[in-house]
Structure 1
Amino acid sequence: MTAAMAAADLGAAYSGYLAHLADADEYAATELAIGLLDAGVPAERVLLDLVAPAQTEVGERWARNEWSVAQEHAATHISEQVVAAVSGHVRPRPTGGRVVVACMDGEWHALPPRLVAEVLRLRGWQVTFLGASVPAAHLVSYLHRYDAHAVALACALPMRLPYAHRMIEACRRSDVPVVVGGRGFGADGRWARRLGVAWAPDAPSAADLIADERALRGVPPARLTHLADDEYASLVRRRGELIDSALADLRERVPSARAYTAAQLDATVSDLGHVVDFLAAAVYVDDSSLFAEFVQWLAEILGSRGVPAGAIALPLAHLAAVLRDFPRAGRALAQGGAALPGAAR
């Protein structure tokens, strides 16, 4: 089958695959993918041009409040089963060394790194996929037991970057080169460069990088000298206090918040926790744009659920006042506030 024919088949199949996900029809989705393989479409293209973009659309439908969390979870499970079916249908014999693929500790978005693992397997590597949220100590123990050529680590949320850095350094102390990927490192990989680690924007790029050990190891060192000022560590120590004070301030300023149901209160505390965690991550990598991008995303998510931007502006203003002696946090909060819809430019 030519590349043009494969692209045409995938284009025609995409809407059908999305419909199967919407209907939670695992069998139809699997049959569609296997049918493409039988028609001569390469397995890598089925994974990257069908399953991957469909999963992106699933996430966007959740973000637009078109799909519930339950629908998103069901669709993700089906795509995981489809990936397993494709992997079982095409079983290339390994010709390369072992590559370990895992999610960062605390990172639960396992499908994207699973796709990377399968692409590596298709290209001849012996792949061990460790799945979601792998503790650093357990990963290092595994690396000591097995001789790995490289480790591929995924991170979808920038708030996990401090943990990612510790995990990367733990792998390096085991003398195993690391490549990272995922939205958590920035759309252009800028936070990976700040942490001094090789970054790949997609599965084929990760495969090419892992095949080039010189490029994998030849990355500039981390640029984190700013952490000497202890601002990040202070934010982490005060996390609970900052969440509690922001919640108290919100209740003081918005009387309706005092009547929140248990579910509404839990959601508010969770959102405030994310605000503090993303702020800490922005301070860790010394990049206010990280926090501004999060605020924009949060405003879109909450806006689709009928929550006004003011609900975010109040906690940001409160934190700015409480953290007035934290210059880098203050800059991030100011940039985040400016990113809100309707903010004065």
Structure 2
Amino acid sequence: MGSTIAVVPEVDEYAERLWAAVADGDETAAVGSVLDGYRAGIDPEALLLDVIGAVQRRVGIEWAGNRLTVAQEHAATSINDRAIAALAHVHRFPEPTRGRITVSCVDGEWHALPARLLAEVLRLRGFRIDYLGAQVPGPHLIAHLHRTGPDAVALSGSIATRLPTAHATITACQAAGIPVMAGGAAFGPDGRYARQFGAQAWAPDARAAADRLAEPLPRPHEAHQPIDDLPHLADQEYTMISRSNRQLVQAMYTGLEDRIPAMRDYTDLQHQHTAEDLAHIVDFLATAVYTGDSSLFTSFILWTAEILEARAVPATALPPSLELLGAELRDFPRATAMLREAGAALASLVAGREVRA
């Protein structure tokens, strides 16, 4: 009797099964699809990154396209986290033979799933892992490093407005003598902000991070202050904008009510959402001023316009919001230049849509 060869089903099949379960909010089916893939012989790392990770990216795309609500997006993320836990429960991880890595999110960062996926991949590859999760205050992270003495910190950030905090965290880790690998969307698609902030390494995804950590990261040579990396911060624009956030939002809101009288009839919830949107504009401008990168702010404004369009909400409030903020910051040359650049890009986007229509 001839031997039989087990054919491992395509990973895409299990990604589709997981997506269907996640979209339906069915945790049992979601976990079952991942465990079925494991029993079928699919590599655990592929299940983590090419099934669960791929589905999580799709969740973000569907939310941006207004095909998932915020509640559905949160539920989907929770289900994917449970699927990771179920896989970790059934798989026998190797005994740690490599170094010790602390995996942590930046303070203020609630998107923990990318860090969780990295932690599990590193465990699969034989590292000893301290996974600290989301929203880790800098002082607590540093205290942990002093207590455990890891070989490196893998710092995850998805929200660009947390970049100044990430910079301070990287500097603090290095002052403690621990090298830092940065990753996540916040650091830019090419890792530009990780390099700007002096991180020892950057990786675009979990596989690349695990590959890079296979070799020891260089130890920090000496402690330095964040302004050493960003000499333009000496002009104090970032500090003044950050400290004036509430006043700037209030001034923008009052100005918008004058320009768009219908806003006076908004419901309490609409008032709240509008104020939050204006606060995001100020936060992203402050972050762009911090990094000295105007494209960060322009990209956010264009992304916001796309999100509003997907939700059938006119982006009419965006141009006057930028004008009003520019008037408030007229004595801040770098900030006003960024506002003009974003306004011009937004005008081009709107003009292009009108031509297509």
TM-score after normalising by structure 2: 0.91
Question: More displaced, 266-275 or 307-316?
Answer: 307-316
1:327 paired residue among 315, 322, 333: 333
Structure 1 unaligned blocks of 5 or more: none
Query: Structure 1 residues 238, 213: CA separation in 2 closer, same or farther (over 3 Å shift)?
Result: same
CA distance in 2, matches of 1:116, 1:336: 34
Of 333, 350, 353, the match for 1:342? 350
Change (3 A) 1:343 1:230: farther
Partner of residue 280, structure 1: 286
Looking at structure 2, the residues matched to 297 and 78 of structure 1 have their Cα atoms a distance apart, in angstroms, of 27
Tell me which residue corresponds to 2:191. 189
CA distance in 2, matches of 1:176, 1:209: 16
The residue aligned with 1:143 is 145
* CA deviation string 1:179-224 (max 9, x = no partner): 1111001111111111121211011111122222245759xx9631
* Distance in 1 separating the partners of 2:161 and 2:106: 11
1:238 paired residue among 244, 247, 268 = 244
Query: What is the rounded CA distance, in whole Å, between the counterparts of 2:30 and 2:170 in structure 1?
Result: 36
Q: Please, which moves more after superposition, 185-194 or 239-248?
A: 185-194
Aligned to 1:307: 313
Query: CA contact under 8 A between 1:282 and 1:291: conserved in structure 2?
Result: yes
- Are the equivalent residues in 2 in contact too, given 1:179–1:216 (CA < 8 A)? no
Aligned pairs for 1:1-345 (under 5 A) are 8-90=9-91, 91-197=93-199, 198-214=201-217, 223-340=229-346, 341-342=349-350
- For the pair shown, which has the larger CA radius of gyration, 1 or 2? 2
Identity of aligned residues (%): 47
For 2:218 and 2:145, how far apart are their aligned partners in 1?
21
TM-aligned CA deviation for residue 170 of structure 1: 1.1
**2-structure distance, mates of 1:202, 1:318:** 39
Deviations 1:63-85 (A, max 9, x none): 11111111111111110000111
* Aligned residues of 2:177 and 2:220 also touching (Cα < 8 A): no
5+ long unaligned stretches in structure 2: 1-6, 353-357
Letter paired with 1:211 = A
8 A contact 1:181–1:199 mirrored in 2: yes
Would the aligned equivalents of 1:337 and 1:343 in 2 still touch at CA under 8 Å? no
Aligned residue type for 1:209: R
- C-alpha RMSD of the superposition: 1.9
CA contact (8 A) 1:155 1:181 kept: yes
Tell me the distance in 1 between the aligned counterparts of 2:220 and 2:147: 21
Runs (4+) of structure 1 moved beyond 4 Å? 214-218
Q: Which amino acid aligns with 1:313?
A: P
d(CA) in 2 for partners of 1:171 and 1:210?
A: 17
